Chain A
Amino acid sequence: MTGAVPRTAVAADSGSTPALSTPALVVDLDIFEANVRAMASMLAGTGKTLRPHVKTHRTPELARRQLGGPVVGITCATVGEAEAMAAVGLNDILVANEVVDPSKLARFVALGHRARIALAVDDPGPAASLSREAVRAGVVVDVLIDVDCLLHRCGVASAGDAVRLAQAIDRSPGLHLRGIMGYEGRLRLEDDDRTGKIGRAYATLAEVRAALLAAGFPVEVVSAAGTSTLREAIADATITELQAGVYALMEPELLNLGLPFACAAAIQGTVISRHPGRVVLDAGRRVVGMEYGPPVPVGFTAARIAISDEHATIAMADPVPALGSRLSLVPGQIRTTFNLHDHVWVARGADLVDRWPITARGSSQ
């Protein structure tokens, strides 16, 4: 973990609102809004658009507050997320993921009656199913060909495959080939050959785009990038649209990239047991996403944080905080953290101002 201490809300027992019950997820709206503004500034004058990935928080109230400026719509990972976002009026939605189940495709195209919708495709089979469902629903669906540009997950692996898929899409009623997408994955500052990897990923996107254009297909959109590769994507000539999402809430391990974003969300816990040199907080793995390592303390120093199911055992200097004290931790992985909570408390500085449902929590279907 980096030495950088994230600036974030310790929040939030003051003000007129009653004390929240712990463990609780708290977002500092001032910081969140500053992150959104900083992103708009970064993109101003670049000609790039932003389609924030809302799988980060699965929270419609936060998604609404990311609109404006360079934002042309939102990105989702699942049909369930897209449904939750469309329900609050978000009307331009890309599901940047493969969907193959016919019942899910039917749900997806139904959203086309109230939003412009787009789906990632990497295989002619699901494209044909999508076409059938779109025709049945009487809507037109945008399609982006998913390109495996680095991650070896989904996506076509070659320009030839992309052209063949484009031909299949072109013959399919109800589908409109809008362009391509590729996600290069999280590339940390300390990753080996970071610059080379990003360069190769974007070269692959450029090659696929050129092949499609040469074959006579339009490529209106090249959608890619996450927060970790933001600068490189802005500087790239091929990419037209960014899918970053974490920027709005940030994660500690990305702070060393020097981006103009600060950590905006933390888990608040209560000291439920105290011992010499150690306190135990009521916040464990079932409320804190751990994929990127243990959470980072806010406003206090910990020698070590050990996380079990329901507890964070924190080694710290004596005198340790009193029983009942509130301590905050910034999760290493913000997205899985949000998916563990029903709602997020909203603070401005030290004041709790609201509580918003994480409507798409668990919407992995």
Chain B
Amino acid sequence: MRDPTPLITEAHDRVRRQYASAIGRHRADLTTPALLLDLSALRANLEIMARGMRDVPTTLRAHVKVHKSPHIARLEVEHGAIGVGCATVWEAIVMARSGIDDVMVINEVVGPDKARALALIAREAEVKAVVDDAIQIDGLSSAAVEAGSTIGVLIDVDEGMHRCGVGSAEEALPLARRIQEAPGLEFVGLTGYEGHCSLEFDEGKRHAMARAAMDVLTGIADELAANGSPCRIVSAAGTGTWEVTARYPGVTEIQPGSYATMDGHHRRLDPRFGWAVTVLASVISRRPDRIVLDAGSKTVGASHGVVRDWNLGTYRFDEEHSIFLAGSDVRLGTGDKVEILCNYTPFAISYFDAYHVLERGSVVDIWPVMPRGPESRWLLDLLERGE
């Protein structure tokens, strides 16, 4: 792994200055709402995944869209990830500039600006993209030729989620040939995401669904190999299915993301991973039957959350407030701090610009959320300027 570039170190310095007064403080003394990252819980999650990966024939590609953090991504690579997966070209630029060598945009890239951005960053790192249509292939090819770079390309397979992706070998084959013939591109293999399985909480059913999804993916890979387009990478899985997928014959890598930070949804799927990211909130109003916190759907996200260490019923989430039922037996008063455990942490992260990084309950560093986006065309402008 290379060192992070100034794009990252300057962003880090910026948030450290912005939140300078928080550094060194105990969590109980922080201004709220604040996004907390418990470093030891994060490391524990990364170690669980690293141990799990020791016994399987696949490699780990950490999906960073969950946390949008160069610092967490680097820790994931230090814990054995071969590289990262991204949802956008902007995330890919940030990750390449974070010093990570293997960066895959696990999403369709459409439009000349984004193809150009990817082709430019492919000069600095090994970059891969995902397609499900000839138009995307042609766009990536001309951008790569113009930039003088090479982009690895995977075909996106619809494993049953019915979002992006091709559904059959008949659709995949002509795309593979087109990629193989396209200048500036290298055919790498297949990717798919069995996201529909992660909505099933029954483990037996979920694993059966994941195996059915892998049948589709590896079946298409076999067909491609038999027809002159062998797949070097066959990539799939999320935190809800990683163990099944990582063992499935024919799969070469998995791409989970939530295992690092965790949230309520994924803890129901795999409780071995612990809470690394939470939202710190204050009680700003104490009523006889309830407490009102200063973190609502504008900080926790539309999927809400619960109060850590207190078994409180949810009364309601508003934009700036969450309200929990708390009678006089609940010893929480105005000004007290609590942590909210988010049902889906990525939504919370999208609302913050930085993590308060905690060790033994105190802030040891501030890490940027980057890129905040969604529209981060300034990163392309920066590449165009040669910066």
On whether the beta carbons of B353 and A152 are closer than 8 Å, the reply is no
0/1 interface trace, chain B 153-195, chain A, CB 8 Å (1 if under): 0001000001111000000000000000000000000000001
A212 CB–B CB distance under 8 Å: no
C-alpha gap A79/B321 in the complex (Å): 14
Closest to B373 in A: A342
Interface size on B, residues (CB 8 A): 62
Chain B: minimal CB distance from A79 (Å): 10
Does A328 make an interface contact (CB < 8 A)? no
Interface residues in A, total, Cβ within 8 A: 60
- A313's partner among B33, B162, B292 (CB-CB below 8 A) is B162
B16 in contact (CB, < 8 A): no
Q: How far is the CA of A333 from the CA of B32 in the complex (A)?
A: 24
Complex: A78 Cα to B347 Cα, angstroms: 20
Taking a contact as CB atoms under 8 Å apart, the answer to whether A286 and B111 are in contact is no
- The SS class assigned to the A binding surface is loop
A23 near B375 with CB under 8 A, answer yes
Known: A342-B375, A362-B352, A364-B294. Is A271-B282 also a contact (CB below 8 A)?
Answer: no
- Check B31 for interface membership: any CB of A closer than 8 A: yes
Q: Is the CB of A280 within 8 A of B195?
A: no
Q: Which residue of A lies closest to B87 (CB)?
A: A310
User: From B317, which residue of chain A is reached at the shortest CB distance?
Assistant: A291
B164→A311 contact, CB < 8 A: yes
A7 sits at the interface (CB 8 A): no
A309 contact from B87, B299, B319, Cβ within 8 A: B87
Q: Return the contact of B292 from the options A153, A339, A340 (Cβ within 8 A).
A: A153
A290 to B285, CA, bound (A): 26
Residues of A within 8 A of B114 (CB): 21
A302 vs B142: C-alpha distance when bound (angstroms): 33
**Complex alpha-carbon distance, A283 and B353, angstroms:** 20
Is residue B346 contacting chain A, with contact meaning CB distance below 8 A? yes
CA gap between A282 and B297 in the complex, in Å: 22
Contact B375 A343 (CB under 8 A): yes
A-B contact count (CB 8 A): 158
Which residues of A, 95-136, contact B by the 8 Å Cβ criterion? Answer: 97-101, 103-104, 122-123, 125-126
Assembly CA distance A314 to B114 (angstroms): 22
Q: Which residues of B contact A336 (CB under 8 A)?
A: 297-298, 302, 319
Q: Does B34 contact A (CB under 8 A)?
A: yes
Q: A154-B284, A335-B298 are in contact. Are A272 and B108 (CB under 8 A)?
A: yes
Q: Within B316-358, which residues are at the interface with A (CB < 8 Å)?
A: 316, 318-321, 323, 334-335, 346-347, 350-353
A154 touches B110 (CB 8 A): no
A365 touching B33 by the CB < 8 A rule? yes
List of 10 A-B pairs having minimum Cβ-Cβ separation, nearest first: A273-B164, A272-B108, A154-B285, A21-B377, A98-B284, A272-B110, A287-B374, A310-B87, A77-B320, A323-B135
Given A152-B316, A278-B162, A287-B373, 19 new contacts (CB under 8 A): A21-B375, A23-B374, A55-B320, A77-B320, A98-B285, A100-B334, A103-B31, A123-B285, A153-B318, A154-B285, A155-B285, A273-B156, A282-B108, A313-B163, A323-B136, A339-B351, A340-B351, A342-B372, A364-B294
Residues of chain A touching chain B, judged by Cβ–Cβ distance below 8 Å, are 19-25, 55, 77-78, 97-101, 103-104, 122-123, 125-126, 148, 152-155, 157, 270-274, 278, 280, 282-283, 285-287, 289-291, 308-311, 313, 323-324, 333, 335-336, 339-343, 362, 364-365
